[in-house]
Amino acid sequence: MIEAGARAPDFSLPDQDGDTVSLKDLEGQYSVLAFFPAAFSPVCTDQLSVYEEVLPELRARDAAVYGISVDGAFALKAFQASIGTTIPLLSDFHPKGEVAQAYGVWVPERGVATRALVLIDPDLSVRWTYRPPSPLEIPGANLIFDALDAVAA
């Protein structure tokens, strides 16, 4: 997994609406890249629902969350609607897993990204990362708030 202190790898991915989101679009804010294995899975649904609940608090800290999976943009649009989230969902579909590979969270034998969080600072450097010990474990929002507190100190 990418380490804190590294320059965030560049990317340009379509979101659930087909609009392109690039690393340079994240400049000037803290951004959490929430890699998740698959839309519509129970754990991924719960994870993004937890982050949706705390979005106002994250925005108050000038932080945003972006979900990233290898699902296609159309599947991510349906997933977003089904769980009622406003979190932008980015499709790492083609070339499959290219961004997950660049961030060191690709699981080749499964063809998906593992569950992981990457905090990118306003200058586009990686400030913090977290990979749960099990892909079935949801990284709680408290981890994100703790990371934001640590970089602000």
> Looking at the chain, how many residues does it have?
153
Structure-token pair, residue 12: 């340009």
Determine whether 44 is an active site residue: yes
Catalytic residue among 44, 68, 113, 144: 44
Measured distance CA(63)–CA(143) in Å, rounded: 14
Chain-centre distance for alpha carbon 23: 12
* Strand 30-35 relative to strand 63-69, pairing: parallel
124: left (phi over 0), alpha (psi -120 to 50) or beta: left
Enzyme catalytic residues: 44
